Structure 1
Amino acid sequence: MNVLTIKNLSFNYPKLSILNDISLILKEKSITAVLAPNGTGKTTLFYNILGILKPTKGQIYTQECDILALKPELRAKYICYVPQEWQSPFNYNVVDVVMMGSTRKMRIFGTPQYQDEKKALELMEEMGIIHLKFQGINEISGGQRQMVLLARALLQDAPILLLDEPTSHLDIKNQALLFRELKKQVDKKNLSVLINIHDPNLVNIYADEVYMLKDGKNFRNGQVNEVMNAKNLSELYGLEVKTGMIDSRSFVYVY
């Protein structure tokens, strides 16, 4: 089942075209990667989905509604988001940051209730970050911060999760921890994930489908094992890319 459909989406700044007729389908209980060189509109695409930017033309919809027609508080029912970077102006306790994910269910001037804190603590326990609950968000490592932001998004209980370059500042251990938790939550919550990412090897390991963008346009898309080949990757990046196999799994390299 398709949970999110993007159809012929374009976005232009006054003197600059960024996205041109982008189409994309996100399937239920899947991880779909958006892979593209720097400066080709990956984050701009996310900002259009989130309503931060307004498309020049095109459609974004779920089975239930037109996403572009929704106010932010209603859009939050369907889509949650983990940004590439997030700086807190205050050194909130980690548990308070996680509980921010429950605000979409509150009325104006509402405050978190006991049940909100209980759900947040249960989720943190499950994700292995409960020991951080009373630490300040500005005092923890980058890897820990990304897990906290993932927990905040998951507490929102939206069926679609957007992640914008979540591993850009993470070492190999924290990359693995983040993706393992992500795969677990996809199965548990029937979650569908759309992820912007630079590392083709992480796409090979963890994603189900991939959309390659080049010059702001659809370039190639399909199942990872069909699309992530040397020819497509070489054309995408404009240099010779090699692929090989380790333990029956494809990997990408250049030299």
Structure 2
Amino acid sequence: MSRGNAVRRLYVETLIRTDPETLWARTQEPGEHQRWDLRFTEITYLPKADGEPQRFRYATRLFPSRTPRFLTVAGTGTSAGETRRADGTRVSALRFASPHPLSLLKEGSGYWRYVPVDGGVRFLTGYDYRPRWGRFGRVADRWVFRPLMGWATAWSFDRLRLWCEAGVSPERARAHWLAETASRLLVPVAAAVILPPAAALLALAAAVLLPPSRLTPAARRCLRTAPPRTSVPALLDTLEPA
């Protein structure tokens, strides 16, 4: 999907020190995938005939638990995977679409690549989509939604890395992140109330600049710019629009 030079295809890459089978299972099985991926609340495979691409339904709640049904954005898609490529890599491609009027994301496509390397797997994704809501949607996507989607993808990849490498479950990783984020917000506020201005500024600088805990997911640990000559897998061309 190309819409000129105004926006870029989203790209995220990380190195995960695990075996390909574990990584494939935790990214391809819906029940595992929805645990670590911040972008989705629910992923469900739909019935399919033998030899056809896998169809799926996804949903994202706009607010935490007990969100009214009309505030749950849902869509459908098709996916296919290759696990026996000559170079040892694996590929998964998908096309997706949402008819929900509250979904800025109208339709899109993307892929995951799994590249074995010494000590682990380079796990990377590239995807793009077409927004709805006309000109307002294009502006909102460029300046707000697309950067947020890029951050959420990278944060989720690091959450997955912690699960595979350190055994930190996605639920624990989220709790670590919430606690650390709260402390980074509250410490400067408390310092501003009880400390002299110079000390309060130091507390603010520390809250912003200190690296995250090794048990806390962080988008900054992922590569966000595609290397030169990055190509879209041919598998994507075999999928019909969702």
TM tier, smaller: under 0.3
The TM-score with structure 2 as length reference comes to: 0.22
The TM-score with structure 1 as length reference comes to: 0.21
**Bigger radius of gyration among the two:** 2
